[in-house]
Chain A
């Protein structure tokens, strides 16, 4: 019997995008990984309360769609993780109190949003010292903070639309002064967003002072930090999935056909089945154009920008860069980065000639490559610091 590496796919989590994460993990990661027949795949599910579960039953999407997961969580014993010499999953086996264990060779994080995509999980995995797929701690943390990401991009000379950011307490303390400050520097319409959340939760397009005030309150309801951005005129939104470490490769520029903030048309909104675009509707197949229908030079410009953003953020493995294009001025602006695109954006990779199975296999090899590089760095030095003490 050939030794099969064990890949743990971690999904769910204490974030607003808990449900999206389940779909990403089961449909776009676990299934293709199992089809490679090269890995033993372990499903590790983090419930909304933060407890970890490890079970093959968690690989079945029906458990989640039928609501059976509630019953399951009632009965199942949470699993735990040991960090002795790597990472080991541990759970009660149900037979005379014996423990069942599995040593994990590699982790495939499938978490979206806070406590998962934002670097928190990556920090834990770095401590275990095993390879894992996707961006590392710092890139994840920077990308998931829209303010920080803009600052990094600006610092590297990449174009971003004008913005301001504020702490929640500022909004609560003196909203009127804040409104004046904002409107002195930025022109309506403005986009107001919570700094950390993924997808489009809590985002409002404000066209008047009243709307701006309300929008700030809404964003502050979700997050400590709020970002206000000027709208790019003649807007074409595009997004670009990218993978790789030192030599990132782009998929195809994708143009979502309905903007989540476009509330005008009832039909599109309700047919999308979405309230304010819950992330998946945005960019989901059928609602987007791949590749985006752009003039060649503009396409190239956006693709370059996307790759540059990927590099300066320090991304590795995979990420998706959202950009805003002023179609008249022919200029692309960086908007934000998703370190773990929903469903890995497999539909886009497929169109770019990468199958689901290839996609996960490549991501695993990138994870190993980065891990090997880090292993070769000198991380411990002998000093005589203690002796001198």
Chain B
């Protein structure tokens, strides 16, 4: 379904009856990526899953956004649909970082928070970031002579190889830069909502270490590490993930 939020044509899926649960997808993903999880939860809850601006069928933000803009967008969406605060918020990857920031800004005031392989611990390895930055700058200068398309393809390839999602959606390059610069550890420390952290043992995009970091920051949080799963833990181990979430929300 569609609705206009912040003057952007926004696509969302809303199903089920009961207390409201909001799903926030990760970078380069869309509501579709969380559809399986949504379907499972609709048995007991009213589940809202939205394509965040720039992803899925929702329009691109008109300027470069950071997590704060996304947080306010989600707040406006709920207001537009005439919802009160949700019972629970579930965020995956960058959607998890967004959820933390949104709770901290009080854009979202849920009673339960679920973070699936949430990112947002951005300072764990400053040296690696510096190296990538140096390579990127030099690479930029060296490849200037290439045709634009070739250059873009090459960049995409190289960023992918370093584990960066920056060029998954090339149009959002600036938004990406703004977003990943935002560390939300401080926001996490201030959270006093019961929080479930689910991390995947074989996740090489967001390591379990980040989960432990959040676990230590968020008072009374619970950390679950799911084996035999990668970054998309809800797709790799759907039964396990759903069971954990259902039990936590009950």
- Touching in the complex, A and B, CB below 8 A? yes
Q: Is A70 an interface residue (CB 8 A)?
A: yes
> Are B4 and A217 in contact, CB atoms less than 8 angstroms apart?
yes
Q: Is A241 an interface residue (CB 8 A)?
A: no
> Are A217 and B35 in contact, CB atoms less than 8 angstroms apart?
no
Q: Is A71 an interface residue (CB 8 A)?
A: yes
Interface of B is mostly: mixed
Q: Contact partner of B3 among A71, A217, A270, A275, CB < 8 A?
A: A217
> Are B3 and A214 in contact, CB atoms less than 8 angstroms apart?
yes
Q: Is A178 an interface residue (CB 8 A)?
A: no
**B-side contacts of A214, CB under 8 Å:** 2-4, 80-81
**B-side contacts of A264, CB under 8 Å:** 15
Q: Contact partner of B4 among A218, A263, A266, A275, CB < 8 A?
A: A218
0 or 1 for each of B1-35: is its CB under 8 Å from A? (1 = yes): 11110000101010100000000000000001001
Q: Contact partner of A266 among B3, B35, B80, CB < 8 A?
A: B35
Min Cβ gap A209→B in Å is: 10
Q: Contact partner of A275 among B57, B80, B147, CB < 8 A?
A: B57
Q: Is A250 an interface residue (CB 8 A)?
A: no
0 or 1 for each of B66-85: is its CB under 8 Å from A? (1 = yes): 00000000000000111000
Q: Is B149 an interface residue (CB 8 A)?
A: yes
> Are B2 and A204 in contact, CB atoms less than 8 angstroms apart?
yes
Q: A70-B149, A210-B82, A275-B57 known; A270 and B1 CB under 8 Å?
A: no
0 or 1 for each of A213-227: is its CB under 8 Å from B? (1 = yes): 010011001100000
Q: A70-B149, A210-B81, A210-B82 known; A263 and B32 CB under 8 Å?
A: no
> Are B32 and A270 in contact, CB atoms less than 8 angstroms apart?
yes
> Are A218 and B32 in contact, CB atoms less than 8 angstroms apart?
no
Min Cβ gap A33→B in Å is: 32
Task: Write the chain A residue with the least CB distance to B59.
Answer: A221
Chain A residues 269 to 285 lying within 8 A of chain B, measured CB to CB, are: 270, 275-276
**A-side contacts of B3, CB under 8 Å:** 214, 217-218
How long is the Cα–Cα vector from A210 to B1 in the complex, in angstroms?
13
> Are A270 and B35 in contact, CB atoms less than 8 angstroms apart?
yes
Residues in A lying within 8 Å of B, measured CB to CB: 70-71, 74, 202, 204, 210, 214, 217-218, 221-222, 263-264, 266, 270, 275-276
